Amino acid sequence: MRKQLVVAFATLLGLWGVMHLSAEPPAIPDQRAQAQKLLNEGNFKEALEIFRKLALDPKNNQPQLGNDVFQVANCYQNLQLFHEIDGFLDQAEEVHSQNWRALKAIGTQWLNNHHYGFLVAGKYVRGNNGGRGQYVDSTTRDRARSLQLYLKALPLVQAEAVTDRNRNEIAEYYRQLGEYLLNGRWGGAAWQLQSKTDLTKLPDYDSPNYGRWGGWGGGGVNKGAAVDADGNPVFYTIPESFEAATSDGQRWRWAMEQVRRVNPASARQVDRQFADFLQTQFGVQTLREGGISLPDDNATEGEKEANPFAVKTLKDEETIARLATGAKRFTLPDEFNPIAILKRLADGNDTYASQALETLAQIATDRQQFQKAADYWGQVINRFENTAHRQYSLDQIVKNWGRFDQTQSKPAGTRATLDYIFRNGTRVDFTARKIKVSALLEDVKKIHEVES
């Protein structure tokens, strides 16, 4: 009997061992679903534990890995543990060093972080830190850190064959690489594209100086478009490779050209972005934005000699722009002429075509070439939809229009004069009526009494 009990116990123990050894942890999708449920319920600490395990799992190479990385940072932020994010991102980079999709997600998160913190005993602590230490800004450093990750992923991306299944994904990598190169270097801050960010080392943290560099929208100190040693505008050509680029401007052009190469369907989007960039640099509106007022005269289009700074005399291949050395009239090569690019876009039948026509109309208006502007508005109305905005913009040019200029009250007994500004009109009729001021005031009082 004793022997039978021992055998039975051994059998049960063996079965338990087999069951225990064969029990597998929940599948990654199940863990991810559980973590997302906890996150949605506000249980950030519990969600963080699962998401962090998923993000640091070397076997996790699923498309959702990027979201796992983002959710870890999201949990840290909700828990006010900003200082934990940097270490996690470094660890995730080490685990997934051969996975370009993971490196892309990690690089993106470096730019999604809060870009401020404190230096405590020489160590950067991201976030508030209770106000202890020296307050610094990490925007420039985080941008460089992000670009390091994207550059690390580049050979892995280039080694992957482009197929219909991954075409959009690879094109998106190049698009974001270009976007991050342009980060903080748009509009008035585009002069920084002349330099080439050293990605072999990280820049120092910046002392707070708000508006110093400007943001994606191009804030900060507007120095005018960059010029070379001879005072000519700087144009960023497309280099043969990322490594061959001599500036961040060329790096950006190369990245966007790869978007076009990998996914030809995005070519018009790339052209539109480049045209917008060129317009912010070389459009005549840069004069107004820089506080430059040019003299006007009665010169007609083509009569450059009458006044070289009369914008209405500009040809499509010409512009007058604010450069770093001041206002200058010059000719733009087709590759760098926003009007030429927009005209090509306008030949299509898609949204880019209608938007291009609207932009061309605005450019012509800025140049005081109102007949051209009216023609462009007419084209977009006839070829596409006649919206209220488009019709109003056309009416402002072609219809009769007038208004009284500002004037001041005159003392009693003084002859009053009114200035009237008009366009497209040859005659205006006025009717003067005597007003009973006392009755007017009484009516105003009654209206206020009813409303109150």
pLDDT band at 410 (very low <50, low <70, confident <90, very high): confident
CA 278 to chain centre: 15
- Tell me how long the chain is: 452
Give the contacts of 190 (CB within 8 A, at least 6 positions apart): 218, 225, 226, 277, 280, 281
Q: Are 252 and 182 in contact (CB under 8 A)?
A: yes
Residue 305 confidence (pLDDT): 59
**Rounded distance, CA 410 to CA 412, Å?**
6
Half-sphere exposure for 83 (CA within 13 Å, toward CB): 11
Q: What's at 101, amino acid-wise?
A: R
Question: Token pair of 178, please?
Answer: 């270009």
Q: What does the pLDDT read at residue 291?
A: 79
Q: What is the pLDDT of residue 297?
A: 55
Alpha-carbon distance of 118 to 409, in angstroms, equals 58
d(CA 103, CA 89): 10
Domains located in the chain, CATH noted: 26-130 (1.25.40)
pLDDT number for residue 222: 72
378-404: per-residue pLDDT in tens?
Answer: 999 999 999 999 999 999 999 988 888
Closest among 138, 121, 112, 113 to 208, alpha carbons compared: 138
Share of the chain above pLDDT 70, in %: 88
Per-residue DSSP letter, 406: P
Q: Are residues 235 and 222 in contact, defined by beta-carbon separation less than 8 angstroms?
A: no
pLDDT in tens, 37-48: 999 999 999 999
